[in-house]
């Protein structure tokens, strides 16, 4: 089961064209931190759902904002929808944080607040997306019961703590028809399961 993830950088997206290219799902950037919403989110959210894809929304986690305010930002932007995939929280080191990573205990406190608020609001336990370095630093050995979406564009991922991944972002250099934006490439992902399991997801 293949899927894409997109943001404003893919520009205008023809979701019907995208959906015809052996794509089953899409994760769409909704928000970042406590006050930013992707300017293309609402249009993408509506049109992607109309295309017949299974659709989920993701939030880019900020190390500089509280978990509660980040949850409020996402909840303002993303209306619950029938059949939606679980909300995703994207955890990765960025900018100066790559050189000076925040302490694990500080990140855990705010990230846990965010996850709890989202689960309470949407009735679905969020998925945690992470790069390998962010996973090892902040998620490994923690957040049991949360599905993992891992980025690894070089080889099939093996997580440090031995747990299974649910989604895998296997390339950030794909090219598909149906979008025209600042970014010429699009991220591709796979679901770790069968067609039947994906149809029932996130039910266990």
Query: Rounded to an integer, what distance in angstroms lies between the CA atom of residue 192 and that of residue 164?
Result: 9
- For residue 123, how many C-alpha atoms fall within 13 Å in the half-sphere facing its CB? 7
Q: Which of 14, 20, 92, 136 is catalytic?
A: 92
Beta bridge partners of 189: 3, 169
Residue 92 annotated among the catalytic residues of the structure:
yes
Query: Rounded to an integer, what distance in angstroms lies between the CA atom of residue 109 and that of residue 64?
Result: 12
Query: Rounded to an integer, what distance in angstroms lies between the CA atom of residue 63 and that of residue 106?
Result: 9
Residue-wise burial string across 115-144, b where 16 or more C-beta atoms lie within 10 A, e elsewhere: bebbbeebeebbbbbbbbebbebbbbeebe
Query: Rounded to an integer, what distance in angstroms lies between the CA atom of residue 50 and that of residue 166?
Result: 25
Report how far Cα 146 is from the mean position of its chain's Cα atoms: 13
User: What residues are annotated to the active site?
Assistant: 5, 92
């Amino acid at each position: 089961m293949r899927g894409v993830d997109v943001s404003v950088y893919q520009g205008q997206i023809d979701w019907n064209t995208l959906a015809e290219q052996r794509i089953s799902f899409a994760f769409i950037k909704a928000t970042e931190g406590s006050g930013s919403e992707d300017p293309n989110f609402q249009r993408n959210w509506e049109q992607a759902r109309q295309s017949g894809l299974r659709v989920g929304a993701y939030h880019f986690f900020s190390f500089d904002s509280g978990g509660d305010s980040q949850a409020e930002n996402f909840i303002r932007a993303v209306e619950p929808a029938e059949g939606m995939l679980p909300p995703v929280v994207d955890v990765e080191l960025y900018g100066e944080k790559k050189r000076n990573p925040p302490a694990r205990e500080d990140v855990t406190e705010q990230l846990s607040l965010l996850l709890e608020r989202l689960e309470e609001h949407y009735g679905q336990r969020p998925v945690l997306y992470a790069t390998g370095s962010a996973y090892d630093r902040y998620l490994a050995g923690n957040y049991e019961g949360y599905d993992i979406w891992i980025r690894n564009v070089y080889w099939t991922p093996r997580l440090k703590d031995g747990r299974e991944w649910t989604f895998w972002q296997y390339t950030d250099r794909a090219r598909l028809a149906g979008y025209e934006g600042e970014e010429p490439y699009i991220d591709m992902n796979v679901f770790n399961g069968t067609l039947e399991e994906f149809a029932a997801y996130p039910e266990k």
